[in-house]
Amino acid sequence: KAGVTQTPRYLIKTRGQQVTLSCSPISGHRSVSWYQQTPGQGLQFLFEYFSETQRNKGNFPGRFSGRQFSNSRSEMNVSTLELGDSALYLCASSLDASGTGELFFGEGSRLTVL
C-alpha cells in the first residue's frame, strides 16, 4: 500500500511569488492535514480537510490556503511568499477525522524562499 505522497519534494521560490504543494493520501484515507515545520517555530498545524471540507484551521494568515478534491487528494497554496515561509511542509492522512486514528505523514515538501 503506497504511503502519503507529496510533490514537489524540493522547490525554490522568490519573495512575492506563490506556490502550490500537492498531497496524495493513503488509499482509503479521507482526512488530510497540513503542518509547517521550521527550526524556530517547530511543527505548527495549518489546516485539516475531510470530505472536501475544511474542518480545522491553525493560526496562519490568509495567504495560506488549501483545498481537498473528491478523490481526497489535497493541495495547499501560499501566496505572496515571504522569507519566513521557508519551511518543510508536511502532509498527513488518516482514515477519518475523529482524532483517534494514527496520522500517516509524507516526507514533506521543502520550500526555500529567496
Partner 1 sequence: AQTVTQSQPEMSVQEAETVTLSCTYDTSESDYYLFWYKQPPSRQMILVIRQEAYKQQNATENRFSVNFQKAAKSFSLKISDSQLGDAAMYFCAYRRRSGGGADGLTFGKGTHLIIQP
The footprint of partner 1 (CB under 8 A) covers: 3-4, 33, 35, 42-48, 50, 55-56, 58, 90, 92, 97-100, 102-103, 105-108
Question: Are 47 and 57 contacting, i.e. CB atoms less than 8 angstroms apart?
Answer: yes
Q: How far is the CB of 17 from partner 1 (least distance, A)?
A: 26
**Beta strands 74-78; 104-105: pairing state:** unpaired
Residue 52 burial (CB count, 10 A):
13
Q: How far is the CB of 4 from partner 1 (least distance, A)?
A: 8
User: What's the rounded Cα separation, in Å, for the pair 89 and 106?
Assistant: 9
The grid coordinates listed for 49 are 480537510
* Residue number, 28 or 42, with CB nearest to partner 1: 42
Question: Are 101 and 94 contacting, i.e. CB atoms less than 8 angstroms apart?
Answer: yes
Q: How far is the CB of 62 from partner 1 (least distance, A)?
A: 17
* Residue number, 15 or 110, with CB nearest to partner 1: 110
* Residue number, 18 or 56, with CB nearest to partner 1: 56
